Structure 1
Amino acid sequence: MLQNNQQASLYQVEPSPRDVSPHAAVARRPTTIAETGLSESLLLDLLTKHLFTDGVLTREQLANKMGITGGILQGLLDTAKKLAWIENRQTTADGQMRYALSMAGDIHAKQAFAKNGYLGLAPVPLQQYTPICRQQSSRANPVTFEMLQQGLKALVLPEDLLYKIGPAMNSSRPVLIYGPPGTGKSYLCRHLNLALGDDVLIPYALAIGNEIIQVFDPELHHQVDLTENHNPLDLAQGHDPRWLRCHRPLRITGGELTAEMLEVRFDPYSRTYMAPLQLKANNGILLLDDLGRQRISAKQLFNRWIIPMEERRDFLGLQSGEHFEIPFELILLFSTNLDPKELVDEAFLRRLGYKIHFDALNEMLYRQIWFRVCEELQLHCPEEVFQYLLREYHQRCNKPLIPCYPRDLLGIISDQMSFMKLEPEVTRSLIDSAWSIYFV
């Protein structure tokens, strides 16, 4: 299970005003079980499961694994002792008490695992998650032209495209990006979260009553490398450790998308719930790439998300049949190289709000990409060779100046140079060969 380096805390005090960071103000550390929003029985189950899995743990280790403060943890340990579920073991060399399960505690832990296989940080109850998720909306700090320009400075883009993308990111409406293959739709979308430039708190898990849904996904949620120079024992600092400070997520899904991925998934073997992709992407960006090629049809997808797209809230269900509402607080992007009118009807297109068309570049921008890729690959390309490419191939073959061509063609040329041990200079013959290989 994930261990959060910022969770080392044995005792809890109220944060002083000078120490309250923006994230600590959003999700303050709870000091009592009531402030966690969780039941004592749920926390006791989680405590015994951690001891069952790890054998012997100190109080500090338990605080780290459960994401709860020492004051709350001490109360749980006292209760578990009264129930004869835990035993004291020999202290560590530095005097820390160690705890292990008794026989009765072992039995209880097994019963707890039989009910719910979740093992990780204590979950955040839904009623606490919802207001914090909405408070962290990217729309709270609107994207400006300067922010977008800075975030996408590594890309070569027409300036008028920035004036279309920027307002779309500030809108509460979904965005459809369409155009021919290779025009940079997906490439741009994969960099948009750089323009947001901040980080957010992501709950490790959510509690729906006594059921727990894991939200944190290490492949999607990238934790911020915290380097603040403060004493880790200064407990007046820091946010609720059940939340992990991460960069705004960017979730990308393509042809592999199924209807099941949009719902809470239950694993009957581990008896655990996993969050759907839109819940994991909250407070970030969700890109549905290659719309129209998913294993769920575009019509089914839009029917499923009519309410979320218009009301910014979604409804999910558990295996028990219980249903609950969650925020749909994300930037939703659709990308396709198909004709949008062939995917969905006019009523659905109207709901998308922003429709942004990508097309071929002009010669100036195409040149910038070509010579930038040459620099990245450490290739030299004479101007006359570039003009030869434009004249003999793009113009005569009527091939538009698509942004993906420079990287693809020069990649083939670089491979040829390595294979034939050639000097790193682009020649007409290498252009001829790369073009004949790349195009059918």
Structure 2
Amino acid sequence: MLKLSTDETQTLPTIDELDSDQLAPRPKTIEQTGIHESVLLELILKHLLSGGVLTKAELVSYMGITGGIIQGLLDSAKQLAWVENRQSTSDGQMRYALSHGGEEFAKQASAKSGYKGLVPIPISQYSEICCKQSSRRNSITFEMLQNGLKSLVLPNELLHKIGPALNSSRPVLIYGPPGTGKSYLCRNLNLTLGDSVLIPYAISIGNEIIQVYDPQLHHKVGETDLNSQLDLVRGHDPRWIKCKRPLRITGGELNADMLEVQFDSHSRTYMAPIQLKANNGILLLDDLGRQKISAKQLFNRWIIPMEERRDFLSLQSGEHFEIPFELILLFSTNLNPNELVDDAFLRRLGYKIHFDALDEPLYRKIWFQVCEEKGLRCSEEMFQYLLTDFHALFEKPLIPCYPRDLLGIMSDQISFMQLKSEVTKSLIVEAWSIYFVS
């Protein structure tokens, strides 16, 4: 957790302090799941079709609902002659398998929808809990931001612009020359938020299911004891995964399809768009202006979400539905914003923060910080030589990425030539000639 100051031990509120048990209580009946019994029956049959012979405990872990609800579904399936009892395990657990009729029905269900995971969350419940978990429920202060980004060297005036932007509901445009730390900063902003949220494994719109949880994006906080899902009392609804606030980064690969719900005809499953996966976190669109979708198309698509904090999506069937647009939306570019979009769109962005070259004291701080990280000695004489004979002479601004890049080349040279771990004039000359194009 993040300290608010060097002498305080307070931490940012987490989802535990919101009481996840109350926020997403464990359902005890089919009705409390919010999902129609027919959808639950299809899902349990698909799990049995895939698993062959399963115990109730295994079905609990696969579907994320309590043993009592599973037993009710098994009883209904047996009445319909879809499920049969099989020989118990050595420890006395009953085992279940599909009948011939159940197998045929399960194949028909799989042909309609290939989804096979935890029981989904109804869209209404998702929208409610997503809004309650907004990162804006607690304002970020200067001390929080400073402590969260303490590993970065940033001018205080820049922090005074970034902090209010994070507290705002408006999108943020960060622009400036390449190498000034725009993307690097955005990748570290989640450290300031610092808390965890509940992410649904999947959501349902009527009988259709969209998987939201992405293990590459959503990083679990702690491990869930699947056996505890038999417990009707303790813990939150296991269909929600406790995770760090997501940070979704997309760059030149972004296209229009990634902003919409996609149906994979091979797996017969729906895939959530990037903004749905990034809800309750940060969505960074890096290198704005270099995507496969133009900046103008992108802003036209997101006019309503950016202003009203809600988005409208549709399924393959044409059914439309609404989701919260509850995220911190960041745009980063090294292009001129006025050349990307017109003034009307720039006004909608709310915050425009310019990144530029550093002054000498901050550049010095980064230089010697990187020297320490790489185990290199550098005298004041060599640092001044770099500034006067190279930066000043060649009119190269003091860009934050230069120390790490130049010293990295020097470190490589030292390893190759088996030299002393010390910055010298010859190393500076060599690194500069390699790094910069004449």
- TM-score higher than 0.5: yes
- 1:38 counterpart residue number: 35
Q: In 2, distance between residues paired with 1:242 and 1:164? A: 38
Shift of 1:330: 0.3
Q: Is the 8 A contact 1:224 1:245 kept in 2?
A: yes
- 2:158 counterpart residue number: 161
Q: Is the 8 A contact 1:124 1:242 kept in 2?
A: yes
Matched residue SS, 1:244: strand
User: What do residues 109-130 of structure 1 show as CA deviations (whole Å, max 9, x unaligned)?
Assistant: 1011001000111110101111
Q: Is the 8 A contact 1:20 1:238 kept in 2?
A: no
Shift of 1:94: 2.1
- 1:386 counterpart residue number: 383
Matched residue SS, 1:61: helix
Q: In 2, distance between residues paired with 1:303 and 1:165? A: 25
Q: Which amino acid aligns with 1:197?
A: G
Q: Is the 8 A contact 2:314 2:320 kept in 1?
A: yes
**For structure 1, which segment, 21-30 or 179-188, has the greater mean C-alpha deviation from structure 2 after superposition?**
21-30
User: What do residues 82-136 of structure 1 show as CA deviations (whole Å, max 9, x unaligned)?
Assistant: 1111122222222222211111111111011001000111110101111100000
Shift of 1:437: 0.4
- 2:420 counterpart residue number: 423
Q: In 1, distance between residues paired with 2:263 and 2:223? A: 33
- 2:355 counterpart residue number: 358
CA 1:284–1:105 in structure 2 vs 1: closer, same or farther (change >3 Å)?
Answer: same
Whether 2:236 is the aligned partner of 1:250: answer no
- 1:99 counterpart residue number: 96
Which one of the candidate residues 198, 213, 234 is aligned to 1:201?
198
- 2:13 counterpart residue number: none
User: What do residues 136-183 of structure 1 show as CA deviations (whole Å, max 9, x unaligned)?
Assistant: 000011211122112111111111111110110010000000011100
User: What do residues 290-334 of structure 1 show as CA deviations (whole Å, max 9, x unaligned)?
Assistant: 000001000000000000000000000111011111100000000
Q: Which amino acid aligns with 2:297?
A: Q
Shift of 1:436: 0.4
- 2:5 counterpart residue number: none
Give the structure-1-normalised TM-score. Answer: 0.93
Q: Is the 8 A contact 1:220 1:249 kept in 2?
A: yes
Aligned 1:126-141 pairs, distance under 5 A: 126-141=123-138
Aligned 1:158-237 pairs, distance under 5 A: 158-226=155-223, 235-237=232-234
- 1:115 counterpart residue number: 112
User: What do residues 40-98 of structure 1 show as CA deviations (whole Å, max 9, x unaligned)?
Assistant: 01011110111111112111111111011111111001111111111222222222222
Give the structure-2-normalised TM-score. Answer: 0.93
What percent of counterpart residues are identical? Answer: 74
Q: In 1, distance between residues paired with 2:53 and 2:372? A: 56
Q: In 1, distance between residues paired with 2:144 and 2:18? A: 23
Q: In 2, distance between residues paired with 1:232 and 1:72? A: 11
Q: In 2, distance between residues paired with 1:226 and 1:138? A: 23
Whether 2:26 is the aligned partner of 1:29: answer yes
Shift of 1:234: 6.0
Kindly tell me the number of residue pairs found equivalent between the two proteins.
Answer: 421
Q: In 2, distance between residues paired with 1:21 and 1:189? A: 26
Whether 2:67 is the aligned partner of 1:76: answer no
CA 1:232–1:59 in structure 2 vs 1: closer, same or farther (change >3 Å)?
Answer: closer
Q: Which amino acid aligns with 2:216?
A: E
Matched residue SS, 1:333: strand
Whether 2:437 is the aligned partner of 1:406: answer no
Q: In 1, distance between residues paired with 2:312 and 2:353? A: 29
Which one of the candidate residues 416, 429, 432 is aligned to 1:432?
429
- 1:259 counterpart residue number: 256
Q: In 2, distance between residues paired with 1:410 and 1:57? A: 58
Q: In 2, distance between residues paired with 1:331 and 1:20? A: 22
- 1:3 counterpart residue number: none
Q: In 2, distance between residues paired with 1:147 and 1:233? A: 40
Q: Which amino acid aligns with 1:102?
A: S
Q: Is the 8 A contact 1:126 1:206 kept in 2?
A: yes
Q: In 1, distance between residues paired with 2:46 and 2:266? A: 17
Q: Is the 8 A contact 2:310 2:322 kept in 1?
A: yes
- 1:334 counterpart residue number: 331
